[in-house]
Structure 1
């Protein structure tokens, strides 16, 4: 099997791997002719399934295997991949390929950078009063040239410094997985959402969510300074996230010590596409979100018509880290059951299919 690609959007790729690495140490990576898929399923917390369009991350993409669609399945350590990509942030060129050394499969990242080969020697300051070119009333250029940077602005040698290319290769040990190993991996199945709504900017939501989580932790500290959770995740700080079909979103923290909330209004509730709903137009008329819209009110003042999920504060903060990548986020609320986030990455190519990252976040019982 063979795989090689030039990376054309390392900035997005680096931020994406950073966000995924916060959820779990290992990603299942599926490479094929059609797309690139990254899946993270940690022992605890939210899972993520990312489908990346090849042209959004790579160029001159080449893959070959004996499997259908030239599929290659890999197990990749996310922290190692992220560190390698981060080192290529200022590279003039970066490529990645599948290789093997000492019978160990590797993802090999090759980075090319252009650096200055050396600074030109500064010309001596000539002064008619000194035969050695040194003016006793002026600091020596050997020791104090940085005090007078303006003296060199007109020197063309400063802008003409020779450059050379440096190539660095970073090898990431991986595992190549057989089709049988990954055949059982399936995205979680969830019921039809009761509410679907565009989220506000994720970094704004993350800032408030993290603040609520810190308040919850602080309110549970015992006199000796411990949190009192004793490693029991069921007692970790929970945040209540609710939304309705009238553009309202509410984030709430309720503990024995406090009850605070933040509220957004005027958000968009996307229209359902009849082609994606069983029964078409009739199916939309009977859809849970349609019934939820009828139960609520446009002002969102009624307790009716809201779908609610309860989230682990720390895990939720990690999920919202994907906001650094940008893009539109549609959230689907399955009342008291789960929250599903669809993060659509912006593709600059005209009429190009968008990459989508799907998060599955379970709701805790009250």
Structure 2
């Protein structure tokens, strides 16, 4: 099993790691010839999940991956360890990454070459302990299969939503998100003494239902104007909003009524989130699966 590469886009990797750190202490990374994929799983398959595939060519150069399992390597790691290494590597000329065994334990080793203020060459070596996972251990980890969505809508600016979440996160343990196919979305939180609803309109529905599935234009129009809802954990909604580290230009929200909400943030090589219409030029995406809250 081998992995070695030159890291050439520290900024994107660092911002992804920052958003990961707010989800949990550990994450899984899958290395393959085409993608570096970050995976975060909650306490169970019905919990909050994140799958974030990024094209290898946009993060590394001169990379070589070899394993007995289709040249794919899975590793579990402490996210804070990765953040510390990437932060210390910012602004350096060369960052070499290798998977090595030291004292019979696996590590991701970063060799960081740069210059001191006096112009002298400086070499720093930092190790991140990892736990290599087998394909059998990873066999149960799959992106959720979900029913057909009722609404696909682009969210308001994420910093606006963060302000809303800051005000409502202490009101109730769940939040109901309702959206229509006419560019409208509502966020509702209630307790015994407080009832808060935040409403947005004039948003974009990038994908609309197929008119052929409806018997008449009027039935189709009624369907477009109807609100579909899903209640999710307020805590999980706040976790998702840490995607602001990616500086997303737009975020897709897919709502499956009473089942789940899926948020997708597209990433570019500049670490500034891509617009939905530019997703074909994105270097990857962070997809958040948030199941309906079990009342």
TM-score by length of 2: 0.87
Report if the CA contact (8 A) 1:331-1:339 is conserved: yes
CA distance in 1, matches of 2:243, 2:173: 21
Which structure's CA Rg is the greater one?
1
Report if the CA contact (8 A) 2:12-2:269 is conserved: no
Partner of 2:67: 65
Determine if the alignment matches structure 1 residue 78 to structure 2 residue 82: no
Structure 2 CA distance for partners of 1:84 and 1:347, relative to 1, 3 Å: closer
Q: CA RMSD in A?
A: 2.5
Aligned ranges 1:278-317 → 2 under 5 Å: 285-286=212-213, 294-295=221-222, 305-317=226-238
CA distance in 2, matches of 1:104, 1:60: 25
Aligned ranges 1:38-187 → 2 under 5 Å: 38-43=38-43, 45-68=47-70, 70-117=71-118, 163-187=119-143
SS in structure 2 at match of 1:12: helix
CA distance in 1, matches of 2:85, 2:242: 20
Partner of 1:345: 267
Structure 2 CA distance for partners of 1:338 and 1:32, relative to 1, 3 Å: same
Q: CA deviation at 1:320?
A: 1.1
The aligned length equals 282
CA distance in 1, matches of 2:28, 2:111: 22
CA distance in 1, matches of 2:109, 2:220: 52
Instruction: Find runs of 4+ consecutive structure 1 residues off by over 3 angstroms.
Output: 290-293, 350-354
Report if the CA contact (8 A) 1:244-1:293 is conserved: no
The match for 1:194 among 150, 159, 169 is: 150
Q: CA deviation at 1:107?
A: 0.5
Q: CA deviation at 1:192?
A: 0.6
CA distance in 1, matches of 2:219, 2:203: 16
CA distance in 1, matches of 2:149, 2:33: 32
Q: CA deviation at 1:293?
A: 6.0
CA distance in 1, matches of 2:21, 2:227: 33
Q: CA deviation at 1:90?
A: 3.0
TM-score by length of 1: 0.71
Can you list the C-alpha shifts for 1:263-293, whole angstroms capped at 9, x where unaligned?
A: 2211110136xxxxxxxx9x76339xx9996
Q: CA deviation at 1:331?
A: 0.8
Determine if the alignment matches structure 1 residue 329 to structure 2 residue 285: no
Partner of 2:162: 206
CA distance in 1, matches of 2:79, 2:30: 14
Can you list the C-alpha shifts for 1:49-84, whole angstroms capped at 9, x where unaligned?
A: 11111122222222122221x111112222211222
Q: CA deviation at 1:112?
A: 2.3
Report if the CA contact (8 A) 2:178-2:187 is conserved: yes
Partner of 2:185: 249
CA distance in 1, matches of 2:82, 2:202: 39
CA distance in 1, matches of 2:218, 2:244: 31
Can you list the C-alpha shifts for 1:17-63, whole angstroms capped at 9, x where unaligned?
A: 12112212222211111111111112164110111111222222221
Q: Which one has the bigger strand percentage?
A: 2
Can you list the C-alpha shifts for 1:92-143, whole angstroms capped at 9, x where unaligned?
A: 33232111110110011222232212xxxxxxxxxxxxxxxxxxxxxxxxxx
Q: CA deviation at 1:16?
A: 0.7
